[in-house]
Structure 1
Amino acid sequence: MEQMGSSVSKWDIRNKIWDYMETNNLADFPRPVQHRIPNFKGSLQTGMSIKTWEVFDQAREVKVDPDKPLEGIRLSVLQARKTLLVPTPRLRTGLFNRIVPPPGATKETLRKCATSQGVRDYSAPVGLDAKVHVDLIVVGSVAVSEKGWRIGKGEGFADMEYAMMVSMGAIGQDTVVVTAVHDCQVVDIQEQLLDDHDLTVDYILTPTRIIRTECKQPKPWGIMWYKISHETLKKIPVLKSLHCKEKREGKDVCLQGERPDASLAGKSPRGARDKFPGSIKSQGETSLAQPRPEEGDLSDAKGHLKGPATVYVGSIPLGTRVSELKDALRKHHVTPARLTWHGAQRQAFLGYSDQSKAEEALAALQGLALQGGSLRVELARSQHGKVAPRPR
């Protein structure tokens, strides 16, 4: 498949892959593939072949999305007598269910359990307080790059599910994330299309190969409550339950518009042009998942900020990658608890646990430059509620 140019959006990539798969008859039922995770030809065989893979063999609890092309993987999990967890479609009634085949289930029954109907008929809900540890996560994708950057349907549920599993303690640093796609779905994806809270994958399974991405992008590590509207909270009961749970634990769960720096929360990452009103992702696919803290960060033991303060970085040269800024921060021995990247607006925000830490970073970053251009670095807001400056 022809590779993507440098000025495309996520929707450009989705539409090009959907159109290519339809034109070349590379998908099975359901058709057409537009606005779906494509059920690519060879998906069942790809899913069954996972049983001989060492990573799969070592996993005990496996979470697999309910998409049709992942049916073979769900069947492999059941046949291997591993615990299979499947997210509730669109998170309507909960986070995920455990698939429980009847005693003495035959091969045919297991096949049925792996289907969307079987997921409904043979499942038991898993509560937020359930003691589970997911070893392997399998997500559906519309597109993925060999660097591990993925693009879904545009609704953001994969990011949300991952962040919620973090919040309930169901996954850890060693949890592996995998996607299964047709070879034509493996394409170049420009880094500026992605934000720090987009879910990345460690492995890509195709009908012809297994790709280890060695992705360095941190995975989501909690929920960014300040990006969630009251309307979204009402639509997703399990999200509301998690919000109440974290509130009781004394965590920062201010919703959209409730924080003094709420003007920072609604910015679109990297100027992405995607829109999906009323879904998890909106306003330019702004994610609700919080980036995983870097090693040695200034957050608490569970990755939640304490008394946050923010450093504003502006005048970033167009075309700069977030990885370049991260490298520059490391060279200056600066490690924020959270980095929010808005490359298209030529700015970034560095979150810290308190004002003194932010001021230390500010002093260390004086004279910071990228691509030969000096950057503007200053406190985004004081403890008295001054809002972030806008780029000049």
Structure 2
Amino acid sequence: MTENLPEEVTKSSFRRKVWDYMMKNELVNFPVNIYKRIPNFKGATETAQRLIELDEFKRARVIKINPDKPQEPVRFLALEMNKEIIVPIPRLRTGLFLHVTPVAGATKEQLKTLASMRGLEQAGKSLGLDSHIKVDLVVLGSVCVSRDGYRLGKGEGFADLEFAMMMRMGTITKNTIVVTTVHDCQIVDYLPPQLFKEYDVPVDIIVTPTQIIYVESRLKKPSGILWHMLSERKLKTMQVLQQLKEMDEKNGKIVVLKEVNSDVETRQYIKNRIKYSKNKKRFNTKRDAPNTENMMEGGKNKGEKPRFPRRRTYKKPKAEEENDLPNAEVQTKTENNTKNASRRRKNLRARMKTHIDFSLKLSNISSGVRVRDLKNALLMRGVKPSEIIWQGYRGICYLHFSKLRNEAAPPDQPVQVDSIVANLQQLRIGESVNDEEGFIYVEPAKPISRIEVTDVTTV
């Protein structure tokens, strides 16, 4: 993609330029909402096939591969070639890496399932800081890269942090080859070197569906964890990072963290807290509104008007109303009621016949979130459930999905839900009181019966 540089030369401007181009030209697969993501570009499978032909890949015994969707074919082919892979735990929230080894005698379908995030979480063995595993090759996803090796991810810095941790643990060295798989349009002619810091990880080889690019002059890689670039809040969100800090301090190293007020993610946290405070203030204002019980003598409280009970009005029973109508109108109304009742019974039968392929349970939902907020968030991520069972007062809801099976497929063929589950990772809706980061927990759920659905919707 060769175009003029954007007016505002920042990392974000280059990311936005690539995301816009790929969306405009329909160069992405599901999930189609690629903003703030590593794009699942069209041709990812062909790119993986080209990658495994590299001598660097063939010689590698253990490969670190990122967990994003466009690198899933790489994970599958690596397992098929009897290689071990390690995959970072998303956002490093519960640990560092998952270690997956090939299963003897496994079919291609089984290996494909194992290479998915769902399979990795089920079969992967967690690796801690005491692991002595050695990685021979690193495969990263990217938003865009330059031919001289500069790389831009989605902007959260986890790939850079994972690389630094591996350097700190001795899992990799400065000579470990770093490869990225991207679409041809994700290659830019030039990324200004001044945009990059000492913690940014460059690449040595770029693989696309049509070409392989070797960086002529390999750029310097980070030598380890740069504590002065990390804030105290970042450490609190990652237990493994906190453990590394304690290990360094125990060994006599003086660890100085980054100033909190200069941390990008902290500024975002403050912004979210301000928004939460405004919502809370608005709620308290409504809750503390004066009522008749607080009215003092004279019917006033600090100048506010007293509230009086609403006058009750008498409404005739339906039987009396119908007696007051002419016979023709009564007959017409009766016929309409019969038709409506028949229509409701028909719709109810249609709903009861709807087959639910699978269901998901979403929890850790803030009490201030409304069902419309959830629907908007799902729409932005391209997730369209057949039915939503909202239990916001309990902080949970259920998503039912149907019509996902191929009608030509055998009845015992499993439903592929990995893409939907992966698309809901790191879902955030409002502020959460249970989780500091405010992410929604997503887990499989048993389909709720139609009786349960009726009960929930009528409460």
TM bucket (normalised to shorter chain) is 0.5 to 0.7
**How far has the Cα of 1:267 moved from its partner?**
7.4
Question: 1:32 corresponds to which letter in structure 2?
Answer: N
Higher strand share: 1
Local SS of the residue matching 2:244: helix
Contact between 1:65 and 1:87, CA under 8 Å: does it hold in 2?
Answer: yes
Correspondence for 1:219? 221
**How far has the Cα of 1:279 moved from its partner?**
8.3
Structure 1: stretches of 5+ with no match in the other structure: 258-264, 269-274, 281-392
Contact between 2:146 and 2:187, CA under 8 Å: does it hold in 1?
Answer: yes
**How far has the Cα of 1:144 moved from its partner?**
0.2
Question: 1:5 corresponds to which letter in structure 2?
Answer: L
Higher helix share: 2
Question: 2:166 corresponds to which letter in structure 1?
Answer: M
Question: 2:207 corresponds to which letter in structure 1?
Answer: L
**1: distance between equivalents of 2:152 and 2:140?**
11
1:58–1:103 CA distance, 2 compared to 1 (3 A): closer
**2: distance between equivalents of 1:110 and 1:4?**
43
Q: CA RMSD in A?
A: 2.1
Correspondence for 2:80? 79
**2: distance between equivalents of 1:38 and 1:278?**
26
Contact between 1:232 and 1:278, CA under 8 Å: does it hold in 2?
Answer: no
- Corresponding position: 1:148 with 2:149: yes
Percent sequence identity is 44
Local SS of the residue matching 2:223: strand
Q: How does 1:224-303 map to 2 (within 5 A)?
A: 224-256=226-258, 275-277=264-266
Contact between 1:37 and 1:142, CA under 8 Å: does it hold in 2?
Answer: yes
**2: distance between equivalents of 1:266 and 1:204?**
36
**1: distance between equivalents of 2:255 and 2:140?**
27
Correspondence for 1:209? 211
Correspondence for 1:367? none
1:266–1:192 CA distance, 2 compared to 1 (3 A): farther
1:155–1:30 CA distance, 2 compared to 1 (3 A): same
Contact between 1:48 and 1:75, CA under 8 Å: does it hold in 2?
Answer: no
Question: 1:75 corresponds to which letter in structure 2?
Answer: F
Correspondence for 1:3? 3
Question: 1:14 corresponds to which letter in structure 2?
Answer: R
**How far has the Cα of 1:49 moved from its partner?**
2.8
- Corresponding position: 1:57 with 2:58: yes
Question: 1:252 corresponds to which letter in structure 2?
Answer: I
Q: Deviations over 1:287-326 (max 9, x none)?
A: xxxxxxxxxxxxxxxxxxxxxxxxxxxxxxxxxxxxxxxx
1:207–1:101 CA distance, 2 compared to 1 (3 A): same
**How far has the Cα of 1:101 moved from its partner?**
4.7
Local SS of the residue matching 1:221: coil
Question: 2:200 corresponds to which letter in structure 1?
Answer: D
**How far has the Cα of 1:278 moved from its partner?**
6.8
Q: Deviations over 1:24-57 (max 9, x none)?
A: 0001001121111000001012113322211101
**2: distance between equivalents of 1:194 and 1:174?**
20
Correspondence for 1:193? 195
Contact between 2:92 and 2:240, CA under 8 Å: does it hold in 1?
Answer: yes
* Segment of structure 1 superposing worse, 178-187 or 211-220: 211-220
1:107–1:216 CA distance, 2 compared to 1 (3 A): closer
Question: 1:209 corresponds to which letter in structure 2?
Answer: Q
Local SS of the residue matching 1:132: coil
**How far has the Cα of 1:224 moved from its partner?**
1.4
Structure 2: stretches of 5+ with no match in the other structure: 270-459
Contact between 1:87 and 1:97, CA under 8 Å: does it hold in 2?
Answer: yes
Correspondence for 2:309? none
**2: distance between equivalents of 1:63 and 1:4?**
35
Radius of gyration: which is bigger?
2
**2: distance between equivalents of 1:158 and 1:278?**
21
Contact between 2:140 and 2:178, CA under 8 Å: does it hold in 1?
Answer: yes
Local SS of the residue matching 2:139: strand
**How far has the Cα of 1:139 moved from its partner?**
0.9
Contact between 2:232 and 2:257, CA under 8 Å: does it hold in 1?
Answer: yes
- Corresponding position: 1:126 with 2:143: no
Correspondence for 1:135? 136
**How far has the Cα of 1:3 moved from its partner?**
2.7
**How far has the Cα of 1:193 moved from its partner?**
1.2
* Segment of structure 1 superposing worse, 48-57 or 35-44: 48-57
**How far has the Cα of 1:107 moved from its partner?**
1.3
Contact between 1:37 and 1:67, CA under 8 Å: does it hold in 2?
Answer: yes
Local SS of the residue matching 1:199: coil
Local SS of the residue matching 2:249: helix
Contact between 2:174 and 2:221, CA under 8 Å: does it hold in 1?
Answer: no
Correspondence for 2:163? 162
User: How many corresponding residue pairs?
Assistant: 267
Q: How does 1:166-185 map to 2 (within 5 A)?
A: 166-185=167-186
Correspondence for 1:96? 97
**2: distance between equivalents of 1:279 and 1:67?**
24
**How far has the Cα of 1:103 moved from its partner?**
4.4
Local SS of the residue matching 1:52: coil
**How far has the Cα of 1:19 moved from its partner?**
0.8
Question: TM-score scaled by structure 1?
Answer: 0.65
1:48–1:276 CA distance, 2 compared to 1 (3 A): farther
**2: distance between equivalents of 1:218 and 1:243?**
24
Local SS of the residue matching 1:86: strand
Question: 1:141 corresponds to which letter in structure 2?
Answer: S
Contact between 1:148 and 1:213, CA under 8 Å: does it hold in 2?
Answer: yes
Question: 1:3 corresponds to which letter in structure 2?
Answer: E
Contact between 2:50 and 2:209, CA under 8 Å: does it hold in 1?
Answer: no
